[in-house]
Amino acid sequence: MTTTTPPNAVPAGTAVPLSPATGRLSPVDVLRSEWTKLRSVRSTVWSLAALAVATVGLGAIITAVSNNRWRTFTLVERLSFDPTSRSLRGVFLAQLAIGVLGILVITSEYGTGMIRATLTAVPRRPLVLAAKTAVFGAVALVVSEVVTFAAFFVGQSLLKSPVPHATLGQPGVARAVVGSGIYLAVLGLFALGIGSLIRHTAGAISIFVGALLILPLILNAFPASVQQTLSKFLPLTVLQAMISTQPRPDTFAPWTGLGLMAIYAAVVLVAAGVLFVRRDA
Amino acid sequence: MIEARGLTKRYGTTVAVDDLSFEVRPGQVTGFLGPNGSGKSTTMRMIMGLDHPSAGSVTVNGRRYGDLPRPLREVGALLEAKAIHPGRSAYNHLWCLAQTNGIPRSRVDAVLELVGLADVARRRAGAFSLGMGQRLGMAAALLGDPGVLLFDEPVNGLDPEGIRWVRNLLKGLAAEGRTVFVSSHLMSEMALTADHLVVIGRGRLIADLPVQEFIAQSSRQYVRARSPEPARLAELLRSAGATVVAETDGSLTVTGLAMADVGEVAARNQVVLHELSPQAGSLEDAFMELTNDSVEYRGDVTTDAAAAARHAPVGALTTDPLSDLAR
């Protein structure tokens, strides 16, 4: 441990005189600050790396396996084979990475006490949450698009004739790739909202994983008719529809599903915003 | 300038801060004193807009904290040592705060230099020692060169060198004409640092007065005498009307007789004196006397158990290892 010698004289203000304060807190300044926060902690790098590995890596493995097992596929399997969907399977795993990062963006501030420094610097709380949401949303969207496109191209390159592969120009393919990236970003915002409501990392991750993975299991216990009606509303079902180039009978249309996800995220974020303003920090 | 008016904070049926009104003026260190759990931190959080008052209001420079146009340029606070993400470097911690209030990078470097952390500025704050973390908190408080500064228990956990550093810093800031409000449960620390005291107990205001006045008003005066013949001297003093207690270190604590009279008695009886000195009761005594008064004042509906419970946090002060410094 390095020890530092404390300076004895304390001319606090005279060291570097600041020019007189002008202006007010501005959204641009708060956005810049949130960007600094996001890129200056390791958890961001690790979560985004996990996101990339899950999406691209898992997609590549699943596609390569399909390529190698093509000879054993039945005719029905061959006819329904969707190379785009195969290469985007990794997005299912990537959901966890983007969710954890979205949660950490806010819960790490509570866990470390940083939230008090943040709100002391910017007491206008709606501005803080809005800036956090905007910066994280933008980063999540850019990174998600990059990794879904990468997963698609890597996956297709692994499919060798006679196995069919997809190109972006084919119907539904570009929608599936772009849409999966947007889905991940929206899911991340949903997670950020959960994090802001719960304020504890472990609790928020539990609820997020519960909504994502446990809800479908609970639904399995219900009669088939109820399952069919309700399972459309699950995030996993929305994602299944999104990565497919073919329409699926038991899901909403891809963009409708994404709209539903956006509503979930918006509801959670608005609730989080209301509580963020009302609660003691 | 900080002004609290009828400030109240309730958590359910518990009243943490009870109708508190006081002013903190510039140019001096104002100590905010009270036993643990008396509502100091809650009050400070309400000043900083972190907690919402249940009733009453508090303003800084005439405005609610949330209405300050550039808060860090007017108010700096060290509320807890741990308001820092351990994964972020000291520099980035300060820089993300600075950005929100239009504070340039040069100022971040300057405050890091000021608190002596310039060499470790790029290191993760999680690797910092307690003292270094406290310095980083200080740097954050000073970031906007504010005229009003709040420090919540700033010497907690620091080594003697760190304590002296904080003490000098607080005095230096006040000498520059700033408003300095510092909380502590240590009477001794306040005696060395503060010019003025706001004392609370159970969330209520007990005293608001200069430190010297507080000590003079509340402490018992007595005389200490040392002699090679303590037993004989004690006997003589008692017959002269004094109350004498023999201390374990061989000295005599004398009350009820002026110091000059003690000397006269000794001289008349040819008792050798090795020491004769005026003593003031410890600040802890004064503090406990005050808080006990407040408990009795409010004690009209209390049972014995409740009264005992109320005394408990005050009693914790007697274990303060630094209390001897104040004597």
Does residue A12 fall inside a structural domain? no
Q: What is the DSSP string of chain A?
A: ----PPPS---TTTSSPPPPP-S---HHHHHHHHHHHHHTSHHHHHHHHHHHIIIIIIHHHHHHHHHHHGGG--HHHHHH--HHHHHTTHHHHHHHHHHHHHHHHHHHHHHHSHHHHHHHH---HHHHHHHHHHHHHHHHHHHHHHHHHHHHHHHHHT--TTS----TTSTTHHHHHHHHHHHHHHHHHHHHHHHHHH--HHHHHHHHHIIIIIHHHHHTTS-HHHHHHHHTTSHHHHHHHHH-SS--TTS--HHHHHHHHHHHHHHHHHHHHHHHHHS--
Average pLDDT, chain B: 85
- Among A3, A22, A33, select the one facing B100 at the smallest CB separation: A33
Average pLDDT, chain A: 93
Q: How far is A194 from chain B (nearest CA, A)?
A: 20
Q: Does A12 touch chain B (CB under 8 A)?
A: yes
In the predicted model, is pLDDT for residue A19 greater than 80? no
Residue to mutate among B67, B96, B134, with most A CBs inside 10 A, is B96
Q: B83, A1: Cβ pair inside 8 Å? A: no
Mean pLDDT of the region A207-218: 94
Burial of B12 (0-12, 13-18, 19+ CB in 10 A): exposed
In the predicted model, is pLDDT for residue B164 greater than 50? yes
pLDDT at B282 (0 to 100): 65
How would residue B322 be classed by pLDDT, with cut points 50, 70 and 90?
very low
How would residue A8 be classed by pLDDT, with cut points 50, 70 and 90?
very low
Does residue A157 fall inside a structural domain? yes
pLDDT at B312 (0 to 100): 36
pLDDT at B218 (0 to 100): 60
In the predicted model, is pLDDT for residue B216 greater than 80? no
pLDDT at B48 (0 to 100): 96
Q: How far is A147 from chain B (nearest CA, A)?
A: 26
Q: Which residue has the higher pLDDT, B281 or B25?
A: B25
Does residue A137 fall inside a structural domain? yes
Q: B172, A10: Cβ pair inside 8 Å? A: yes
Q: B102, A2: Cβ pair inside 8 Å? A: no
Q: A116, B49: Cβ pair inside 8 Å? A: no
The number of distinct structural domains making up chain A is: 1
The residue in chain B having the minimum alpha-carbon distance to the alpha carbon of residue A33 is B96
Q: Which long-range contacts (CB under 8 A, 24 or more apart) does B51-56 make?
A: B51/A280, B51/A281, B51/B9, B52/A278, B52/A280, B53/B7, B53/B8, B53/B9, B53/B17, B54/B8, B54/B9, B54/B10, B55/B6, B55/B7, B55/B8, B55/B19, B56/B4, B56/B5, B56/B6, B56/B7, B56/B8, B56/B19, B56/B20, B56/B21
User: CA B15 → CA B43, B53, B302, distances in Å?
Assistant: 12, 11, 16
pLDDT at B293 (0 to 100): 56
In the predicted model, is pLDDT for residue B308 greater than 70? no
CB B219 within 8 A of CB B285: yes
Does residue A13 fall inside a structural domain? no
Tell me the C-alpha distance between A261 and A255, whole Å.
10
The residue in chain B having the minimum alpha-carbon distance to the alpha carbon of residue A124 is B66
Residue to mutate among A1, A3, A4, with most B CBs inside 10 A, is A4
Q: How far is B133 from chain A (nearest CA, A)?
A: 12
Domain that holds residue A87: 27-278
pLDDT at A17 (0 to 100): 64
Complex prediction ipTM: 0.89
pLDDT at B36 (0 to 100): 84
Q: Does A117 touch chain B (CB under 8 A)?
A: yes
Q: Pick from B298, B204, B295: which is nearest to B8 by CA?
A: B204
% of chain A residues with pLDDT over 70: 94
What residues of chain B lie within 8 A of the CB of A47, using their CB? none
How would residue B214 be classed by pLDDT, with cut points 50, 70 and 90?
confident
Q: A12, B142: Cβ pair inside 8 Å? A: yes
Tell me the C-alpha distance between A97 and B36, whole Å.
42
Q: B103, A6: Cβ pair inside 8 Å? A: no
- Among B83, B101, B120, select the one facing A2 at the smallest CB separation: B120
- Among B71, B110, B168, select the one facing A16 at the smallest CB separation: B110
CA angle A27, A186, A240 (to 5 degrees): 170
How many CA atoms lie less than 13 Å away from B91 in the CB half-sphere? 13
pLDDT in tens, A241-264: 999 999 888 899 999 999 999 999
Tell me the C-alpha distance between A156 and A158, whole Å.
5
> What is the number of residues in chain B?
327
Does residue A237 fall inside a structural domain? yes
The residue in chain A having the minimum alpha-carbon distance to the alpha carbon of residue B161 is A6
Block residue for tokens 């971040």: B108
Does residue A11 fall inside a structural domain? no
- Among A18, A120, A281, select the one facing B107 at the smallest CB separation: A18
What residues of chain A lie within 8 A of the CB of B48, using their CB? 116, 120
The residue in chain B having the minimum alpha-carbon distance to the alpha carbon of residue A32 is B99
Q: B161, A6: Cβ pair inside 8 Å? A: yes
Q: Pick from B46, B12, B40, B6: which is nearest to B198 by CA?
A: B40
Spatial CB neighbours of A61, under 8 Å, sequence gap ≥ 6: none
pLDDT at B222 (0 to 100): 82
In the predicted model, is pLDDT for residue B305 greater than 60? no
How would residue B327 be classed by pLDDT, with cut points 50, 70 and 90?
very low
% of chain A residues with pLDDT over 90: 88
- Among A1, A29, A280, select the one facing B99 at the smallest CB separation: A29
Residue to mutate among B99, B179, B193, with most A CBs inside 10 A, is B99
In the predicted model, is pLDDT for residue B248 greater than 50? yes
Q: B80, A113: Cβ pair inside 8 Å? A: yes
Q: Which of B88-92, B161-165, B198-202 has the highest mean pLDDT?
A: B88-92
How would residue B294 be classed by pLDDT, with cut points 50, 70 and 90?
low
Does residue A3 fall inside a structural domain? no
What residues of chain B lie within 8 A of the CB of A6, using their CB? 115-116, 135, 161-162, 165
Q: Which residue has the higher pLDDT, B248 or A69?
A: A69
Q: A25, B145: Cβ pair inside 8 Å? A: no
Q: A21, B73: Cβ pair inside 8 Å? A: yes
pLDDT in tens, A68-126: 999 999 999 999 999 999 999 999 999 999 999 999 999 999 999 999 999 999 999 99
pLDDT at B283 (0 to 100): 66
The residue in chain A having the minimum alpha-carbon distance to the alpha carbon of residue B177 is A13
Tell me the C-alpha distance between A208 and A107, whole Å.
13
How would residue A274 be classed by pLDDT, with cut points 50, 70 and 90?
very high
In the predicted model, is pLDDT for residue B115 greater than 60? yes
What residues of chain B lie within 8 A of the CB of A109, using their CB? 85
- Among B83, B103, B168, select the one facing A18 at the smallest CB separation: B103
Q: Does A13 touch chain B (CB under 8 A)?
A: yes
pLDDT in tens, B61-77: 999 999 999 999 999 99
Tell me the C-alpha distance between A111 and A101, whole Å.
14
State the sign of the Cα–Cα–Cα–Cα dihedral B198, B204, B206, B208.
Answer: positive
How would residue B220 be classed by pLDDT, with cut points 50, 70 and 90?
low
Q: Which residue has the higher pLDDT, A96 or B292?
A: A96
pLDDT in tens, A21-55: 778 899 999 999 999 999 999 999 999 999 999 99
Q: Do strands B14-24 and B148-152 pair parallel, antiparallel, or not at all (unpaired)? A: unpaired
Does residue A20 fall inside a structural domain? no
